[in-house]
Amino acid sequence: MLGAVFKGKLDDGTWVAVKSIEGQENGKLVFRLEIFAIVSVDHAHLVCLCRYCLHIVETGGTFFIDYDFFRYGLLDNWIFSKDDDKIVGFLSWKQRYRVAIEVAKALSYLPHNCCQRILHVDIKLENIPLDMIFEQLPLDFGLSKLVSKDASRVVVEIRGTYVYKAPEWDSIHGISEKCDIFSYGQLLLDIFFTQKYAFLDQDGTDIYRRYSDGGNIQRQQ
C-alpha cells in the first residue's frame, strides 16, 4: 500500500495527517524521496512536514510521514460528491479562480525557484488539501520527481492518474515540467466544468454561460 492517509493526534494535542508507505519493495526509496522533496521547498502553498518515523516488523517496514492536518479536506470533495456522500461545500467562482491561481504559483515554484528542481507528476484535485480559512492551497508530494537543474527531461516509470498524464509519458524521451502544465490544464477543466475528466471537445462557451447565468455551477457526475 502506498500513500494511505490517516487522521492522527500528537501528544501536544495537534492534529496531523499521517501518510503511510508500506508493502512495496521500493517503499524506502519513495519515503526518502518524499521527505527530501518536502524539506527542499519553502512556499506558502506547499505542504509542511511535521515529523516522520519508521515502524519495523518481521515482514518489513512501514514508513510514516506526518503533515499539517487540513480540517476542510481535499479539493475534490468540494467539487464532486463521493458515491452517496454529499459534497462537502460550495466554492464560488471567485474561490475557484483563486484555487487556480494559487496552484499555478506553487507549480511554477517547484521547477524554477526551489533549491532542488521538482516535477510533481501527479497534479489532480485529490492532491490539493485546503486549510480552514482557505489561506493555503498546498500540494501533496506523493509521486514527485527530483530532477537535476541541468536536465530538461527525465525518464520515469508510468504512474500517476491516467487522464491527467501528458502524451510525453508514453515517450522514450522522458518528461519535463510541461507535463505538470498539461495536468494543470486538466485540473482547470475539472474545477470549472465541475465534471470529472472533462475534455475540450465540450462546448467551449459552457463556462462563460454558467458565469453569465449568475455563477450557479451545477455539479455533473
Which pLDDT belongs to residue 92?
Answer: 80
| Domain end (from 35, 68, 101) | 68
Residues 119 and 176 in one domain: yes
Q: Catalogue the active-site residues.
A: 122
Structural domains in the chain (count): 2
Q: What is the pLDDT of residue 143?
A: 44
pLDDT of residue 79: 79
Residues 109 and 183 occupy one common structural domain = yes
- 221 inside domain: no
Same domain, 54 and 96: no
Task: Please return the burial class of 218, using the count of CB atoms within 10 Å of its CB with bins 0-12, 13-18 and 19+.
Answer: exposed
Does residue 55 sit in the same domain as residue 105? no
- Cell output for 6: 490517516
SS3 of the chain: CEEEEEEEECCCCCEEEEEEECCCCCHHHHHHHHHHHHHCCCCCCECCEEEEEEEEECCEEEEEEEEECCCCCECHHHHCCCCCCCCCCCCCHHHHHHHHHHHHHHHHHHHHCCCCCEECCCCCHHHCECCCCCCCCCECCCCCEECCCCCCCECCCCCCCHHHCCHHHHCCCCECCHHHHHHHHHHHHHHHHCCCCCCCCCCCCHHHHHHHCCCCCCCCC
Q: Are residues 80 and 64 in the same domain?
A: no
**Residue 103 domain flag:** yes
Domain co-membership, 108 together with 187: yes
Domain range for 199 is 76-212
Structural contact between residues 175 and 167, judged by C-beta atoms closer than 8 angstroms: no
CATH code of 192's domain: 1.10.510.10
107 and 147, same domain (yes or no): yes
Residues 39 and 122 in one domain: no
Are 206 and 111 found together in one domain? yes
Residues 91 and 62 in one domain: no
Each residue's pLDDT, cut to its tens digit, for the chain (221 residues) gives 456 777 888 888 888 878 777 655 666 666 766 666 666 666 555 666 666 666 655 555 677 777 777 777 778 878 776 655 555 567 788 888 888 888 888 888 776 776 666 777 778 888 787 763 355 544 555 545 444 444 444 444 445 565 667 666 665 566 667 788 888 888 888 888 776 655 554 454 555 565 566 554 444 43
Predicted confidence at residue 73, as pLDDT, reads 75
